[in-house]
Amino acid sequence: MRYFLRTGIPDCSRLLLIESGPRVVIERVIHHLRNSFGEDVEMDLVTCYAGEPAGFRGRVFNVNDYGGAAGREALWADLSQRNYSVAGVVCAAVPIMTKWKWWLAYKVPAKIFIINENADYFSLDRAHLGQLRRFVTHRLGIGGAAAVPALLRLAVFPLTLAYLLLYAGTVHLRRKLRQI
C-alpha cells in the first residue's frame, strides 16, 4: 500500500482489480475506470469466480488456483512482476475473499482505491479520510442513530466479562473448598 500520504493518482498504465464482491460491481466499474484512466490501460483481475466479467480485457488470477501458503506465494510472484501503480479493491457488503483482499492491498505497492457496491470509488489516502471514516462506520453499523447503543455495548462489554469471570471463579473456588 503506497501513496497514502499523497493525494493525487499516479500515472497508470496497468491496474489491478481485486473482485471481493458481486460480479456486477466489477462489470459496472470497468467502464468508469476506462473513462478515468484511458482505453489503453491494462487491467488485471484477482477473483474467486469462474470466467471473466463482461467487458473485461486482461489477465485473470483466480484464487482457487492458488491454495494454501505456497499458493499465496505463487500468486504474489505472479503479481509482483506486473508493476501495478493503482489497485482497486471491491468493498461491498459481502464477505467474499476478505483475507485475500486485505493481504493483497497490503502487499501490492500501488495506490489503493476502494470500490463500493454501487461501483463508486475513492482513493485510500489522507485526503479521503473523512469519506473513509463514514464508509467504515456505515459498514460496522455504528453510523448515525446506531452509534450510541453500539458504543455503549462496547463500553459495557469489559465490565460484563469481568463479572462473568469473577462469578465463574467464585463458583469453582467454592466447589474446591467443599471438597477439602
Q: Taking residues 51-72, report their average pLDDT.
A: 89
CA distances from 177 to 163, 166, 167, 174 (A): 21, 16, 15, 5
pLDDT value, residue 159? 95
Read off the C-alpha cell for 4.
497514502
| Nearest CA among 29, 12, 11 for reference residue 20 | 29
Q: Does domain 14-140 have CATH number 3.40.50?
A: yes
Among residues 47, 61, 57, 128, which one has the least CA distance to residue 89? 47
Most confident of 62-66, 125-129, 130-134: 62-66
Upper half-sphere CA count for residue 57 (Cβ side, 13 Å): 7
Query: What's the pTM?
Result: 0.69
Answer for the pair 124, 113: CB distance below 8 angstroms, yes or no.
Answer: yes
Q: In the structure, what pLDDT confidence band is assigned to residue 157 with cuts at 50, 70 and 90?
A: very high
Handedness of CA 62, 65, 68, 72 (dihedral sign): negative
pLDDT for position 178: 92
Would you state the pLDDT for residue 3?
59
- Residue 15 burial (CB < 10 Å; 0-12/13-18/19+)? buried
C-alpha cell at 89: 479493491
For residue 79 the three cell numbers come to 503479481
Domain locations along the chain? 14-140, 144-179
Q: What is the β-pairing status of strands 111-115 and 121-123?
A: antiparallel
